[in-house]
Amino acid sequence: MSWLVQGCRPGDSLVFHFSGHGSQQKDYNGDELDGYDETLCPTDFETEGMIVDDEINAVIVKPLPHGVKLHAIIDACHSGTVLDLPFLCRMDRSGKYEWEDHRPRSGVWKGTSGGEVISFSGCDDDQNSADTSALSKITSTGAMTYSFIQAIERGHGTTYGSMLNAMRSTIRKKICELGGGMVTSLISMLLTGGSFSGGITQEPQLTANEQFDVYSKPFSL
């Protein structure tokens, strides 16, 4: 992560992609609205610990200078606010949205040094992201990664709002197609992060360092 932002200059476009395990741990510095820090789990996390959202924000968000853009694509459980960005786009199923303020009450700055950061993540902070073969029919893939690729390939990558809607629609449509029955219920459980109820519990999220109109801002890596 340090290497990614090192020496970046105006005009640079950076991408940070993580597909793997994510978790949560108790927030000890009081900067999380829900009382939990979100984390990424590298291969050595059992001995070296998890990477906490405070650390990620300090390394790849805060130092970003004016004129530099960073996109994060995070396919992991509990990844909604894993970059600790100030604003989350809270969107309902009809596509209507409002920006949710996640700035710490302490006043600690979680934004950039003038740059732009936008993150697509697999699910909300209290949800799980699934690996499943129900989407590709060929091999097990991260549901979020698959829906992200599908949105671009099907021409929905025009704006950030159309991307987010398309991603959610892909996952939601597959849940509906699976229908009832024990086998499909088991697949549905995997796809929705462990829910037997049939309700969708995995919904991709969008966070950013600044608020913007998601339906007018062109999506571009």
DSSP annotation of 218 reads B
User: Does 77 participate in catalysis according to the annotation?
Assistant: yes
Catalytic residue among 8, 77, 89, 123: 77
> Partners of 19 in the beta sheet?
75
What backbone torsions phi and psi does residue 29 show, to the nearest 5 degrees? -110, 5
> Partners of 52 in the beta sheet?
39
Contact assessment for residue 110 and residue 38, using Cβ atoms and an 8 Å cutoff: no
Q: Cα separation of 40 and 22, whole Å?
A: 4
Q: What angle do CA 54, 132, 43 make, to 5 degrees?
A: 40
User: Does 66 participate in catalysis according to the annotation?
Assistant: no
- State the amino acid at position 92 in one-letter form: D
Q: Cα separation of 200 and 64, whole Å?
A: 35
- State the amino acid at position 146 in one-letter form: Y
Q: Cα separation of 162 and 206, whole Å?
A: 12
What backbone torsions phi and psi does residue 79 show, to the nearest 5 degrees? -100, 5
What backbone torsions phi and psi does residue 99 show, to the nearest 5 degrees? -85, 130
Which H or E element spans position 15?
Answer: strand 13-19
Residues taking part in catalysis: 21, 77
